[in-house]
Structure 1
Protein backbone atom coordinates (compact mmCIF):
# COMPACT_ATOMS: atom_id res chain seq x y z
CA UNK A 1 0.00 0.00 0.00
CA UNK A 2 1.39 3.40 -1.00
CA UNK A 3 1.58 6.09 1.67
CA UNK A 4 -0.96 8.90 1.38
CA UNK A 5 0.94 11.82 -0.27
CA UNK A 6 -1.21 14.33 1.63
CA UNK A 7 0.17 13.15 4.96
CA UNK A 8 3.75 12.84 3.64
CA UNK A 9 3.94 16.49 2.61
CA UNK A 10 6.53 18.49 4.53
CA UNK A 11 5.55 21.89 5.87
CA UNK A 12 6.92 24.41 3.39
CA UNK A 13 6.10 28.07 2.89
CA UNK A 14 7.15 29.89 -0.28
CA UNK A 15 6.94 33.63 -0.86
CA UNK A 16 7.41 35.17 -4.31
CA UNK A 17 7.66 38.93 -4.67
CA UNK A 18 7.38 40.37 -8.16
CA UNK A 19 7.09 43.81 -9.64
CA UNK A 20 8.67 46.89 -8.18
CA UNK A 21 10.82 49.40 -9.99
CA UNK A 22 12.76 46.87 -12.08
CA UNK A 23 9.97 44.29 -12.33
CA UNK A 24 12.20 41.55 -10.95
CA UNK A 25 11.01 38.53 -8.96
CA UNK A 26 12.48 37.23 -5.71
CA UNK A 27 11.61 33.95 -4.02
CA UNK A 28 12.10 32.71 -0.46
CA UNK A 29 11.26 29.26 0.88
CA UNK A 30 11.17 27.99 4.45
CA UNK A 31 10.82 24.35 5.51
CA UNK A 32 10.99 24.53 9.28
CA UNK A 33 12.15 21.56 11.33
CA UNK A 34 9.41 19.39 12.83
CA UNK A 35 10.00 20.86 16.30
CA UNK A 36 9.10 24.34 14.99
CA UNK A 37 6.10 23.18 12.94
CA UNK A 38 3.44 24.12 15.55
CA UNK A 39 4.66 27.74 15.58
CA UNK A 40 4.62 27.92 11.77
CA UNK A 41 1.21 26.27 11.53
CA UNK A 42 -0.12 28.86 13.99
CA UNK A 43 1.25 31.68 11.80
CA UNK A 44 -0.28 30.09 8.69
CA UNK A 45 -3.64 29.60 10.40
CA UNK A 46 -3.82 33.27 11.45
CA UNK A 47 -3.68 34.43 7.82
CA UNK A 48 -7.09 35.10 6.21
CA UNK A 49 -6.63 32.71 3.26
CA UNK A 50 -10.33 32.69 2.35
CA UNK A 51 -10.45 36.48 2.13
CA UNK A 52 -7.85 36.87 -0.61
CA UNK A 53 -8.89 37.47 -4.22
CA UNK A 54 -8.52 34.75 -6.86
CA UNK A 55 -6.24 37.05 -8.86
CA UNK A 56 -3.71 39.60 -7.68
CA UNK A 57 -5.27 42.99 -6.96
CA UNK A 58 -4.44 45.88 -9.28
CA UNK A 59 -1.23 47.61 -8.38
CA UNK A 60 0.17 51.09 -8.59
CA UNK A 61 3.32 51.55 -10.60
CA UNK A 62 6.44 50.24 -8.88
CA UNK A 63 4.51 48.29 -6.21
CA UNK A 64 5.18 44.69 -5.36
CA UNK A 65 2.84 41.74 -5.84
CA UNK A 66 3.15 38.82 -3.44
CA UNK A 67 2.32 35.12 -3.92
CA UNK A 68 2.32 33.15 -0.69
CA UNK A 69 2.03 29.37 -0.78
CA UNK A 70 1.81 27.18 2.32
CA UNK A 71 2.12 23.43 1.76
CA UNK A 72 0.97 21.48 4.80
CA UNK A 73 0.07 17.82 5.29
CA UNK A 74 -3.61 18.83 4.90
CA UNK A 75 -3.09 20.58 1.56
CA UNK A 76 -1.73 23.65 -0.15
CA UNK A 77 -3.00 27.18 0.35
CA UNK A 78 -2.16 30.03 -1.99
CA UNK A 79 -2.75 33.77 -1.70
CA UNK A 80 -2.07 36.60 -4.13
CA UNK A 81 -1.66 39.98 -2.47
CA UNK A 82 -0.77 43.50 -3.43
CA UNK A 83 1.76 45.47 -1.40
CA UNK A 84 -1.01 47.26 0.52
CA UNK A 85 -2.58 43.94 1.63
CA UNK A 86 0.66 42.61 3.11
CA UNK A 87 -0.15 43.57 6.71
CA UNK A 88 -0.79 41.87 10.05
CA UNK A 89 -0.48 38.06 9.95
CA UNK A 90 0.52 38.14 6.27
CA UNK A 91 3.47 40.42 7.06
CA UNK A 92 4.46 38.23 10.03
CA UNK A 93 4.44 35.10 7.86
CA UNK A 94 6.40 36.73 5.02
CA UNK A 95 8.97 38.16 7.43
CA UNK A 96 9.41 34.73 9.07
CA UNK A 97 9.91 33.02 5.68
CA UNK A 98 12.42 35.62 4.56
CA UNK A 99 14.34 35.37 7.85
CA UNK A 100 14.38 31.55 7.72
CA UNK A 101 15.50 31.54 4.09
CA UNK A 102 18.41 33.88 4.80
CA UNK A 103 19.57 31.95 7.90
Structure 2
Protein backbone atom coordinates (compact mmCIF):
# COMPACT_ATOMS: atom_id res chain seq x y z
CA UNK A 1 0.00 0.00 0.00
CA UNK A 2 1.13 3.48 -0.71
CA UNK A 3 -0.42 5.82 1.79
CA UNK A 4 0.56 9.43 2.20
CA UNK A 5 -0.69 11.68 4.95
CA UNK A 6 0.33 15.28 5.52
CA UNK A 7 -0.69 17.00 8.75
CA UNK A 8 -0.24 20.37 7.04
CA UNK A 9 -2.65 19.52 4.21
CA UNK A 10 -4.71 22.37 2.85
CA UNK A 11 -8.31 22.55 4.13
CA UNK A 12 -9.62 21.95 0.58
CA UNK A 13 -7.54 18.80 0.31
CA UNK A 14 -8.75 17.59 3.71
CA UNK A 15 -12.29 17.37 2.27
CA UNK A 16 -11.23 15.90 -1.08
CA UNK A 17 -12.50 12.49 -2.13
CA UNK A 18 -11.75 10.79 -5.43
CA UNK A 19 -11.21 7.28 -6.74
CA UNK A 20 -9.51 6.36 -10.01
CA UNK A 21 -9.66 2.85 -11.46
CA UNK A 22 -7.51 1.75 -14.39
CA UNK A 23 -7.89 -1.63 -16.04
CA UNK A 24 -5.20 -2.96 -18.37
CA UNK A 25 -4.79 -6.20 -20.26
CA UNK A 26 -7.42 -8.42 -21.77
CA UNK A 27 -7.46 -9.73 -25.31
CA UNK A 28 -6.80 -6.35 -26.94
CA UNK A 29 -4.50 -5.15 -24.16
CA UNK A 30 -6.56 -1.97 -23.96
CA UNK A 31 -6.24 0.46 -21.06
CA UNK A 32 -9.45 1.93 -19.63
CA UNK A 33 -9.75 4.44 -16.82
CA UNK A 34 -12.73 5.54 -14.74
CA UNK A 35 -12.81 8.24 -12.09
CA UNK A 36 -15.35 9.23 -9.44
CA UNK A 37 -15.31 12.44 -7.43
CA UNK A 38 -18.42 12.06 -5.27
CA UNK A 39 -20.36 15.00 -3.90
CA UNK A 40 -19.95 15.92 -0.25
CA UNK A 41 -23.36 14.43 0.56
CA UNK A 42 -22.12 10.99 -0.56
CA UNK A 43 -18.69 11.23 1.09
CA UNK A 44 -19.53 8.96 4.03
CA UNK A 45 -20.65 6.11 1.78
CA UNK A 46 -17.58 6.44 -0.42
CA UNK A 47 -15.19 6.71 2.54
CA UNK A 48 -16.67 3.44 3.84
CA UNK A 49 -16.18 1.73 0.46
CA UNK A 50 -12.55 2.90 0.43
CA UNK A 51 -11.85 1.93 4.05
CA UNK A 52 -13.25 -1.60 3.63
CA UNK A 53 -10.66 -2.48 0.98
CA UNK A 54 -7.55 -4.39 2.18
CA UNK A 55 -5.01 -1.85 0.90
CA UNK A 56 -2.05 -3.47 2.69
CA UNK A 57 -2.58 -6.73 0.79
CA UNK A 58 -2.65 -4.96 -2.59
CA UNK A 59 0.57 -2.95 -2.43
CA UNK A 60 1.33 -1.77 -5.98
CA UNK A 61 5.02 -2.54 -5.43
CA UNK A 62 4.44 -6.24 -4.63
CA UNK A 63 5.31 -8.80 -7.29
CA UNK A 64 2.23 -10.15 -9.04
CA UNK A 65 2.57 -13.52 -10.72
CA UNK A 66 0.63 -13.70 -14.01
CA UNK A 67 -2.32 -16.11 -13.76
CA UNK A 68 -2.86 -16.60 -17.48
CA UNK A 69 -2.96 -14.89 -20.82
CA UNK A 70 -5.38 -12.06 -21.51
CA UNK A 71 -6.16 -11.39 -17.84
CA UNK A 72 -6.98 -7.93 -16.56
CA UNK A 73 -4.84 -5.98 -14.10
CA UNK A 74 -6.52 -3.33 -11.98
CA UNK A 75 -4.93 -0.24 -10.47
CA UNK A 76 -6.96 1.65 -7.88
CA UNK A 77 -6.04 5.03 -6.45
CA UNK A 78 -8.10 6.70 -3.74
CA UNK A 79 -7.83 10.04 -2.03
CA UNK A 80 -9.96 10.40 1.07
CA UNK A 81 -9.22 13.63 2.89
CA UNK A 82 -5.47 13.97 3.41
CA UNK A 83 -4.87 10.23 2.83
CA UNK A 84 -3.91 8.84 -0.58
CA UNK A 85 -3.78 5.10 -1.27
CA UNK A 86 -2.82 2.95 -4.24
CA UNK A 87 -3.35 -0.70 -5.03
CA UNK A 88 -2.57 -3.12 -7.85
CA UNK A 89 -4.70 -6.23 -8.26
CA UNK A 90 -4.82 -9.14 -10.67
CA UNK A 91 -8.33 -9.83 -11.91
CA UNK A 92 -8.72 -12.84 -9.58
CA UNK A 93 -8.36 -10.57 -6.51
CA UNK A 94 -11.09 -8.15 -7.57
CA UNK A 95 -13.80 -9.46 -5.28
CA UNK A 96 -15.57 -8.46 -2.08
CA UNK A 97 -14.79 -4.84 -1.08
CA UNK A 98 -12.57 -4.32 -4.14
CA UNK A 99 -15.39 -5.38 -6.50
CA UNK A 100 -17.83 -3.05 -4.71
CA UNK A 101 -15.49 -0.07 -4.96
CA UNK A 102 -14.52 -0.70 -8.58
CA UNK A 103 -18.13 -1.27 -9.65
CA UNK A 104 -19.23 1.92 -7.87
CA UNK A 105 -16.59 3.97 -9.67
CA UNK A 106 -17.43 2.45 -13.05
CA UNK A 107 -21.15 3.11 -12.49
CA UNK A 108 -20.68 6.78 -11.57
CA UNK A 109 -18.38 8.24 -14.19
CA UNK A 110 -17.80 8.14 -17.89
CA UNK A 111 -14.86 6.11 -19.06
CA UNK A 112 -11.90 8.47 -19.45
CA UNK A 113 -10.64 6.33 -22.33
CA UNK A 114 -13.26 7.74 -24.69
CA UNK A 115 -16.25 5.49 -24.05
CA UNK A 116 -19.15 6.53 -21.85
CA UNK A 117 -21.00 4.84 -19.02
CA UNK A 118 -20.34 1.58 -17.22
CA UNK A 119 -19.17 -1.41 -19.20
CA UNK A 120 -20.12 -5.03 -18.86
CA UNK A 121 -16.57 -6.33 -18.45
Same fold per superposition (TM over 0.5): yes
Q: CA deviation at 1:6?
A: 5.0
1:71 and 1:20 map into 2 onto residues whose CA distance is 27
CA separation in 2, counterparts of 1:15 and 1:56? Answer: 19
Q: Deviations over 1:31-79 (max 9, x none)?
A: 0000000000000000000111423622221000000000121221000
* Correspondence for 1:8 among 9, 12, 22: 12
Structure 2: tracts of 5 or more residues without a match: 1-7, 110-116
How many correspondences in the alignment?
Answer: 100
Structure with greater proportional helix content = 1
Task: Answer whether contact 1:7 1:74 (CA < 8 A) is retained.
Answer: no
Contact 1:6–1:73, Cα closer than 8 Å, also in 2: no
Aligned to 2:49: 43
Which aligned runs of 4 or more in structure 1 are off by greater than 4 angstroms?
none
Q: Aligned equivalents of 1:75 and 1:5: distance in 2? A: 10
TM-score (norm 1): 0.89
Output the TM-score relative to the length of structure 2.
0.76
Unaligned runs of 5+ in 1: none
* From 50, 54, 57, the counterpart of 2:64: 57
